[in-house]
């Protein structure tokens, strides 16, 4: 399987991605973009320094300068690249320790995806068709942490309200480089958990979407009587919230709540929500004075659509929260601060903010391995299309009387993913069983 994927370059080190290949990728990147400098950051993984040295050598041999911001998280990389022509984050996000990779951007932190450059770079690497270069680039070190932390902290409005207690599980990932600086001295009681960066991820995987990785933070929230928990992924561009009862808050629900906070200062602004989200998200965005815009899944698509609509915010069921003020990119720290702002100002518990958004029954995302994805989608459309409103923004979505569903192929795994919602639990379970039966050919 190619390491040149839909959203990034990612593989096992050194079996799939070694220093020689990282060097060629650096050269291919500059050849493709024709840029004169590249901001480069790297996360906590053990192979990060070796990958940086090889990548930087390729970039400089191709004639571009490297602005080295050192160990960082992905939001810090995006911030540092906001006025730059190109940027690369060395990370494999939430993947196991043996992996590493590259998230790539063009100017203003605009992502490069499979269809906007990654596949072109793969061809350049395979053919070694690098452009001729008359100069050797330089590596310039830049300390970006203080400026990034100050910018992120500027979103906080916590001085006048109740001092909230928050547990943050860093999963030994890259947020350990930035979160202490961001939250130090803020008017909260900050309880860190696994915040020491360690690319072996010794306590649990850095993937907050999996329930087994939330066991410790839920326990800590209950033990400390915390108001809120936030579980961060390996490169800090995703987070999942835990309420004061130790219950997970779905990311689409959290997104609707954060939108409410941002719309206070941006009335009438567009807010994007991914098509898997609860219907309540769109309804609440409108209620609080925003313009709801449905978007397809995937950070490259969402960022493009945000710019098209000049959206103030976007959220994704996978725990990505995007902010116009952060150059239309993700920030787990800003998402956490917005949540704390609203809790402080309303005096409400996390569960109380979430409850009104949970007025429909949602299946959660269910994955299926199927032999013929297109045949399954056609069968579902043939079964339900005539009775409902059908659209193909991403896979198949059908809205019917009292319930709705989306089935889409994963962009990163060989799976079909189902999300279904209905007015109540009984109807949801009934329709879920019905749709699953069709998907599984029963």
**Distance in angstroms (rounded) separating the CA atoms of residues 95 and 378:** 33
Identical topology for domains 9-143 and 147-358? yes
Which pLDDT does position 1 carry in this prediction?
Answer: 54
Q: How many CA atoms lie within 13 A of 306 on its CB side?
A: 29
Query: Which candidate, 200, 195, 193, 162, places its Cα nearest to that of 340?
Result: 162
pTM comes to 0.95
Which pLDDT does position 412 carry in this prediction?
Answer: 74
147-358 CATH: 3.40.120.10
Which pLDDT does position 284 carry in this prediction?
Answer: 98
At residue 437's C-alpha, the angle toward residues 432 and 439, to 5°, is: 95
Direct distance between the N- and C-terminal alpha carbons of the chain, in angstroms, rounded to an integer: 31
Average pLDDT per consecutive 10 residues, the chain (442 residues; last block may be shorter): 90 98 99 98 98 99 99 99 97 96 97 96 98 96 98 95 95 98 96 98 97 99 99 98 99 98 97 96 98 95 97 97 98 99 96 98 95 94 96 96 95 88 98 97 82
Which pLDDT does position 314 carry in this prediction?
Answer: 99
DSSP for 53-103, please give it: HHHHHHHHHTT-EEEEEEE--HHHHHHHTTTSS-EEEE--TTS-TTEEEEE
Helices (H) and strands (E) in the chain, counts: 14, 22
Which pLDDT does position 162 carry in this prediction?
Answer: 86
361-439 CATH: 3.30.310.50
Which pLDDT does position 388 carry in this prediction?
Answer: 95
Select which of 47, 80, 93, 318 is catalytic: 93
Domain boundaries along the sequence of the chain: 9-143, 147-358, 361-439
**Any idea what DSSP says for residue 318?**
T
> 138 is written with which tokens?
């330089």
**Distance in angstroms (rounded) separating the CA atoms of residues 313 and 260:** 10
Topology adopted by domain 9-143: Alpha-D-Glucose-1,6-Bisphosphate; Chain A, domain 3 (3.40.120)
In terms of C-beta density within 10 A (0-12 exposed, 13-18 middle, 19 or more buried), how is residue 150 classed? exposed
277 flagged as catalytic? no
Strand partners, 83: none
At residue 409's C-alpha, the angle toward residues 285 and 93, to 5°, is: 75
């Amino acid at each position: 399987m190619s390491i040149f994927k839909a959203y990034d370059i990612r593989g096992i080190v050194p079996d799939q991605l070694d220093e020689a290949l990282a060097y060629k990728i650096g050269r291919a990147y500059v050849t493709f973009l024709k840029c004169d400098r590249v901001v480069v950051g790297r996360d906590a993984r053990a192979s990060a320094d070796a990958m940086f040295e090889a990548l930087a050598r390729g970039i400089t041999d191709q004639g571009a300068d490297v602005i080295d911001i050192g160990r960082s998280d992905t939001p810090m990389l995006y911030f540092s690249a906001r006025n730059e022509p190109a940027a690369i984050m060395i990370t494999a996000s939430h993947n196991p320790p043996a992996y590493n990779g590259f998230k790539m951007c063009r100017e203003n932190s605009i992502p490069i995806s499979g269809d906007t450059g990654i596949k072109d770079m793969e061809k350049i690497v395979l053919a070694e068709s690098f452009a001729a270069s008359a100069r050797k680039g330089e590596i310039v070190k830049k300390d970006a942490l203080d400026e990034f932390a100050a910018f992120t902290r500027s979103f906080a409005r916590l001085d006048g309200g109740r001092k909230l207690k928050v547990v943050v599980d860093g999963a030994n990932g890259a947020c350990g480089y930035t979160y202490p600086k961001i939250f130090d001295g803020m008017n909260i009681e900050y309880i860190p958990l696994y915040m020491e960066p360690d690319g072996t991820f010794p306590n649990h995987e850095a993937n907050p979407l999996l329930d087994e990785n939330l066991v410790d933070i839920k326990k800590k929230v209950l033990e400390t009587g915390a108001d809120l928990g936030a579980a961060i992924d390996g490169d800090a561009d995703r987070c999942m919230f835990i309420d004061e009862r130790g219950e997970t808050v779905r990311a689409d629900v959290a997104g609707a709540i954060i939108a409410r906070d941002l719309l206070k200062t941006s009335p009438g602004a567009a807010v994007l929500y991914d098509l898997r989200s609860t219907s309540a998200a769109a309804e609440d965005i409108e209620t609080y004075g925003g313009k709801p815009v449905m978007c397809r899944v995937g950070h490259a698509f969402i960022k493009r659509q945000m710019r098209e609509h000049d959206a103030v915010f976007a959220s994704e069921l996978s725990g990505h929260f995007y902010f116009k003020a952060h150059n239309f990119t993700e920030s787990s720290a800003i998402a956490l601060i917005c949540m704390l702002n609203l809790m402080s100002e309303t005096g409400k518990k996390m569960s109380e903010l979430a409850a009104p958004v949970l007025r429909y029954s949602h299946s959660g995302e269910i994955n299926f391995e199927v032999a013929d994805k297109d045949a399954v989608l056609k069968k579902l459309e043939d079964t339900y299309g005539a009775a409902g409103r059908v659209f193909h923004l991403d896979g198949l979505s059908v809205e019917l009387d009292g319930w709705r569903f989306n089935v889409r192929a994963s962009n990163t795994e060989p799976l079909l993913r189902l999300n279904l919602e209905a007015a109540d639990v009984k109807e949801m379970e009934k329709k879920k069983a019905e749709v699953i039966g069709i998907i599984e050919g029963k």
